[in-house]
A and B are shown apart, each in its own frame.
Chain A
Amino acid sequence: MENGQLKVWREQEKVPDLLAVPEYIPGGYTASTVSEKISGLVLKRPTGVGWLGGFGLSCLLLAIFGMAVLWLLVFGVGIWGIQIPNCWGFDITNFVWWIGIGHAGTLISAFLLLMHQRWRTSINRIAEAMTIFAVMCAGLFPLLHLGRPWFFYWLLPYPNTMALWPQFRSPLVFDVFAVGTYFTVSLLFWYMGMIPDLATLRDRATSRLPRIAFAALALGWRNSARHWHRYEQAYLLLAGLGTPLVISVHSVVSSDFASSIEPAWHETVFPPYFVAGAIFSGFAMVILLCIPIRHFYRLQEFITIDHLDVMGKLLLATSFLTSYGYLSEQFVSWYGGETAERYVYWWRLFGFEQYASITWFLFFCNTIVPQLLWSRRMRRRVSVLAVVSLLVLVGMWFERYMIITTTLSRDYLPSSWGFFKPTIWDILTFVGSLGIFFTAFLLFARVLPVMSMAETRALLPGAHGPEVGR
């Protein structure tokens, strides 16, 4: 296994030497310098102006979100552009988009772990944190989109005097379970993976407060062999649990649409198509977050250009999967010959200018732009990767927007055709949700280790440390 793995990695690097130890971390780091470097980011590095500026901006967005939510709670969902027939607009678009982004974390940490992709070590912490925060944002939208959000708990199965349960046939109830489970597992996975590092921080902390905080968070980790043994077992278990969730969550989310009878929602292709799209946007977000982190924290030797290169390839692959979804939809709608469905697809492409331009724009973002990544030169250029990732994120947002709005505005009876146009509150709520994400992420990057020290040490040449997943 090790050889095969090595072979793949080396081939990518175009180094034919099969016996050499793979050099995941260039730059001659040792176990202690790795720990020094990464823990130093938390413990020693002064809080810079750049971070403060970014944090301030994020807080501003967060305040906008707070205001938008307050307005929403006071006046009702009517402040948004939703109407009959477009009862969903930005709200569910944002939900699906955020939850899609949340996919990459668990995919990278659990899926790639089980696949023995050891290069994941450099980025898994970032990806997992991103997952947690993205799912937090995602979870807010179904809650806020309710006409009466204060009764959100009626979607939970809890014993009550009315002897009423949720209606289990509803995909929205599946959502509650799927997203809830996913969030719980992701959070545990993230936290558990961090325990050895928290212990390292505890040991290295010089001032009192961080020491106490990290000591509490490290749950008494002493780095003993028994600890490591149990830790690896638990980690594997969680990885095993997390992996199917990567597939299931977005499949369930897609059933919000696929289980309906609306034209161009009622599609069997939706679950795989949604999962592919989710991973696609998730990778784009990981790339977009890695690039500034490796730049500002000078982690180029940890998150190497090779890492970016591999993620670029994955982006290209998932772009193909997603594009296959587009193609399959178009074909099936034509082949199926159902009037209403055919019309929706036709209308998406050639109908009303604003919607059609969105459709073509998202094809451009999600299918055409990633083709740049065929070129190794492009994959290894940070700026190109950043722009491609950004466009993919935008494109994926518009994809969900298109799916939701075009179907609802053109369903079966032409008498009830309508049109969704966002109001300022739709836009502010969405922009504000970016504030939640970036505020949380910047805090994470400041107070917690952005990379796994323990796992990175194990990657060093000659290390005999834990090899998680073997």
Chain B
Amino acid sequence: MMHEDAPSSPFPANDEYDRRRFLRLMAASLAMAGVGGCSVQPAPPEQIIPYVHQPGEVTPGKPSFYATSMTFGGSSVGLLVESRTGRPIKIEGNPNHPASLGATDPFHQASILTLYDPERAKTVTRLGMTRTWDEALSEITRAIRDQQGAAGSARLLSETIVSPTLGVQIQAFLKAVPGTKWHVYEPIHRDLARRAQQLAFGRAVDIVYNFSKADVVLSLESDFLQCGLGNLRYASDFMNRRRVRTGLRDTASARMNRLYVIETGVSATGVKADHRLAVRAREVERLARSIAARLGVVKESQQDLHYDKWVSAAAKDLQMHQGRSLVVAGERQSKEVHLLAYALNESLGNVGRTLHYIDPVDLQPAERTGSLVELVADMKQGCVSVLIMLGGNPAYTAPADLNFAEYLQKVPLSVHHSLALNETSYRSHWHLPESHYLEAWGDGRAYDGTASLVQPLIEPLYSSRSAIEVVAAIGQALSTPGRELVRDYWRQYWQEHRRGESFRQFWERSLHDGVIAGTASKPSEVKLKDGWQRHLSKSLSEQHEDRASELDLVFQPDPTVWDGSWATNAWLQELPKPLTKICWGNAAMMSPDTARRLGIAAGAYAHGGERGGYHMPLVELAVNGRTVHAPTWILPGLADQTVVVYLGNGRESPLAKGEWPWAVGFNAYPLRTTDRPWVAAGLRVSQLDGSEVIACTQCLYSMKDREPVKSYTLSQYRQKDLPAHHSEMERALEESLYEPFQYPPPQHKWGMIIDVSTCVGCHACVVACQAENNIPVVGKREVAFGRSMHWLRIDRYLSESADQYGACYHFQPVPCMHCEHAPCEYVCPVAATVHSADGLNDMIYNRCVGTRFCSNNCPYKVRRFNFFAYADFDTPVRRLQYNPEVTVRSRGVMEKCTYCVQRIRRAEVDSQIRRRPLRDAEILTACQAACPVDAIVFGDLNNQHSKVARWKQQPHHYGLLAELNTQPRTTYLAELRNPNPELPG
């Protein structure tokens, strides 16, 4: 079956990657992109099951929704994908899926853009030259067969795999080729937790938390509201316990949970905390231990703490809520902290109540770093003859001391399978294009073990295959399509768990629901081993003292580009990071005190000033002889003596010359080594000449005495000690020069209320809005000019009373307020922005001449202007994503939030056709649908029973800048916190 020559030189010569070659490739790619765009098939040939309608029912102009799921970061989340005449255009969460409950995070939202990324790999390539799948597979299988019995062996390197079908295929491959090993690596890993689990339980487990039952939560730098497994579900459960809706009379019955956070960086979870302590990385363990000591979990006395009061109050609070509390340790914490968390939960009686352990969802729960170290050691010794890499980008993300990229080039045959060419692909012999999850069949398991299927929404745009197909083809020479492989796996499952339905029924129901019923993992009985305390470090305080003046370098995944895998996604690059509001890049972040001590000056304005960014001074970060140049950024709330950097930026440009838009920020991986994946002590920071522009959409932290976010404590709320926002607005209603608009009841009167209490600042709504409304991306230069285009922004403020509860930041989503007395409407000379009959403030793009007076006169500054022709009209494949119901705006036109008017009108038409009134919550705006914590509610204010009308009756309801008598239609519920009365500010 093999008839080709042996591979010529095993080493890809560097000089082959020159500019001409790249241009040739790019030209071909662009041409292919055009071809791809033209040849989109309306639907894949296999039968897939739409979520609501029966197959075949594709009505032009009408969306259909299909359930599928996306695996990211080691767990799968169920999604519903909106498809229009065969094009998937928008992603929503699947309400039936336990990890989603209808919500999504920014990565899910943005993944649709990756599907249509013109830079995706389109063909199989060998050393950059186009080849066919057959050529690739035959060379690889032959190489694997030839190496059997020789010194080397084949290796598989993948990221975390939670797909049962892929797992089966890999096992079959390992069995078929003896001597083959499976390594797993990804940079954002849970190694330390896994190590602690080995010590505590003797095996790896996954932890499923139940925040809905926890009254008191202690987070040891766990950002469970924002990232990690099950984050959407956890945020939802957690915030369900903080949503206060008692109405005006019954305020005394208000209840909230309480959150204590000890952390080094500033996370979304830290921002929502009632009590937050910012401490240096190594102190987290000491504080955790001190809490454990007070609860009798460890026997020692720690009296010399600065935070004595805080710790004892937290410990007491936990003590008082046995079985109703939760201690959560973050993935970046040391194994000791994890051990303490396990022990604390056990001694508080939380296990089985607010959390339970399950068998790992991850099919290969080995430590990531160890696995890669082993692989590299073998590569170094020449024991690896074939290396097949499924996804990932280890050449970029591997710990710096491993020199993975260097040894990769010594492997006789390396194969990389990924969506787009990256640093690893360029260093491998073969690159195999991967199918996007919206093009392929597959499956995956969620944080709690629930399995769901991945069904394709579109025929692969290019000649790509899924990982399941690739492994099957290499391992068993099977050319079976992915759908059959997935079906075969689940047929077997169905045979084992037959519940009186045919396989066809089972299959169709599972596809339709997006969840395979009854697959959630059962709690597994694990017990803390005796003598776990032996693994705690001995004397903490001593090693602590003599290193007090040292600087720590802390690594964190980037909130928008994660480990770098999303760095080529324009929506995510342009998405401001929740706390810094920086987009397109990263910086070495430090607290104001640390900056002062290091002599870091404040930057000079970039073009757009506070809404554009600064020229920040450059520094050299040096740890153990490894150095990186980085711009600085000052972030209040960080622990002192700590520099925090986000990974995932500074991707290597594949271009010899010219500007690769994604090569922004600096790469922090060169500072990260195998032994210190998260915290590197002994950092030296030295100032360099020069500066770098940091694009930031909100440089100011302060509210400047204006209180756009109003914040109260639970006890103030209970005692009705709130200013009367409501009457203020009512009074304002009476005064106007013009006739008021009338909305007699059959008419709707739309309104939106945003609860700033529950908003965790995840920015999913911002990307959802961008996807739904065809909002263009403007790039770093334009953002630095102050011209970012997001219709919905999330304002982040630092409270003036920062130290009162240790909870210093507030998030406030700001869409258009759709004011009743809209300042934009009366200044428009051409009536391009007008009031609609149902109270919307409509924007008529075709009529707009672009005077921009409306934006100047908007006190909320929610209007966005097309200073240039920002929208991409030219890239054919990019245009496939556009929502056909929303105009793509051209140059010189103002735009802004429309309350997703296209969704309102669609629902109205539907209700008229069906001759029934619109129901409350029938219309979800894109931001509302994406929100994991239901912080946004939209509905008819004329309907007394609607949720929005009920929220409006709450005592902590207020209008932003209502004193201007704009009568905003988007209003807010004030932030409520539940501080411990024993811990005054």
Contacts and interface: CB of A to CB of B under 8 A. Distances in A.
B307 interface: no
Contacts of A228: none
Contact of A76 (B700, B847, B848, B891): B891
Contact of A146 (B607, B867, B892): B892
B850 interface: yes
Nearest to B704: A414
Interface string A405-416: 000110111111
A167 B830 CA distance: 5
B609 A84 contact: no
A408 B786 CA distance: 13
Interface stretch (A120-128, A179-187, A417-425, A441-449): A417-425
Nearest to A86: B786
B132 to A, nearest CB: 44
B856 A88 contact: yes
Interface string A136-171: 000000100111110110110000000011110111
A390 interface: no
A147 B856 contact: no
Contact of B826 (A85, A86, A169, A415): A169
A418 B612 contact: yes
Interface stretch (B408-416, B665-673, B858-866, B972-980): B858-866
Given A172-B851, A415-B795, A147 B894 contact: yes
B891 A84 contact: no
A299 interface: no
Contacts of A256: 853
Interface in B845-884: 847-853, 855-857, 859-861, 863-869
A416 B611 contact: yes
Contacts of A418: 608-612, 786
Interface residues of A, number: 53
B288 interface: no
Contacts of A300: none
Nearest to B705: A339
A388 interface: no
Interface in B676-714: 698, 700, 702-706, 708
Given A145-B851, A408-B856, A414 B702 contact: yes
Residue of B700, B812, B850, B960 contacting most chain A CB atoms (<10 Å): B850
Contact of B611 (A85, A340, A421): A85
Given A409-B609, A416-B611, A170 B848 contact: no
A358 to B, nearest CB: 15
A329 interface: no
B814 interface: yes
Contact of A414 (B706, B892, B966): B706
Contact of B850 (A148, A165, A340, A414): A148
B867 A413 contact: no
Nearest to A83: B786
B849 A421 contact: no
B868 A78 contact: yes
A169 B708 CA distance: 29
Given A154-B847, A416-B611, A166 B829 contact: yes
B793 interface: yes
A421 B609 CA distance: 8
A145 to B, nearest CB: 7
Contacts of A259: 826-827
B739 to A, nearest CB: 13
Interface in B823-837: 823, 826-831
A149 B851 CA distance: 9
Interface in B781-795: 782, 785-787, 793, 795
Contacts of B852: 82, 87-88, 145, 147
A414 B960 CA distance: 13
Contacts of A86: 786
B868 A339 contact: no
A171 B827 contact: yes
Contact of A262 (B608, B703, B814, B857): B857
B859 A262 contact: yes
A260 B787 contact: no
A128 B610 CA distance: 44
A77 interface: yes
Given A83-B785, A170-B828, A262-B859, A415 B700 contact: yes
Contacts of B793: 415
Contact of B861 (A75, A166, A260, A413): A413
Contacts of B893: 147-148
B683 to A, nearest CB: 32
B814 A415 contact: yes
Contacts of A416: 611, 698, 860-861
Given A172-B851, A260-B823, A260-B856, A419 B612 contact: yes
Given A83-B785, A262-B859, A419-B609, A172 B829 contact: yes
Chain B interface SS verdict (over half): loop
Contacts of B828: 167, 170
A227 to B, nearest CB: 43
Nearest to A145: B851
A401 interface: no
Contacts of A85: 611, 786, 855-856, 861
Given A81-B607, A414-B702, A414-B703, A164 B831 contact: yes
Nearest to B867: A78
A190 interface: no
Nearest to B702: A414
A343 interface: yes
B886 interface: no
A371 to B, nearest CB: 35
B799 to A, nearest CB: 13
B827 A146 contact: no
A412 B705 CA distance: 11
A181 B868 CA distance: 33
Contact of A77 (B850, B853, B855): B850
A339 B611 CA distance: 21
A84 B786 contact: yes
B900 interface: no
Contacts of B850: 77, 146-148
Contact of B823 (A78, A152, A261): A261
A241 interface: no
Contacts of B22: none
A413 B859 contact: yes
B607 A417 contact: no
A147 B891 contact: yes
B865 A147 contact: yes
A148 B846 CA distance: 10
Contact of A147 (B829, B849, B966): B849
B396 interface: no
B797 interface: yes
Contact of A148 (B826, B848, B864, B960): B848
A413 B829 contact: no
25 contacts: A76-B892, A83-B867, A85-B855, A87-B855, A87-B856, A87-B865, A146-B849, A147-B848, A147-B851, A147-B867, A148-B892, A154-B849, A167-B828, A170-B853, A256-B853, A260-B827, A260-B857, A261-B966, A409-B609, A413-B706, A413-B961, A414-B700, A416-B861, A420-B609, A421-B607
Interface of A: 75-78, 81-88, 142, 145-149, 151-152, 154-155, 164-167, 169-173, 176, 256, 259-262, 339-340, 343, 408-409, 411-421
Q: Closest 7 A-B residue pairs measured CB to CB?
A: A147-B850, A419-B609, A147-B892, A78-B867, A83-B786, A416-B861, A87-B852
Given A261-B857, A412-B961, 17 more contacts: A75-B868, A77-B867, A81-B607, A85-B861, A147-B866, A148-B893, A154-B847, A167-B830, A169-B827, A170-B827, A172-B853, A260-B827, A413-B795, A418-B609, A418-B612, A420-B609, A421-B609
Interface of B: 605, 607-612, 698, 700, 702-706, 708, 782, 785-787, 793, 795-797, 812, 814, 823, 826-831, 847-853, 855-857, 859-861, 863-869, 891-894, 960-961, 964, 966
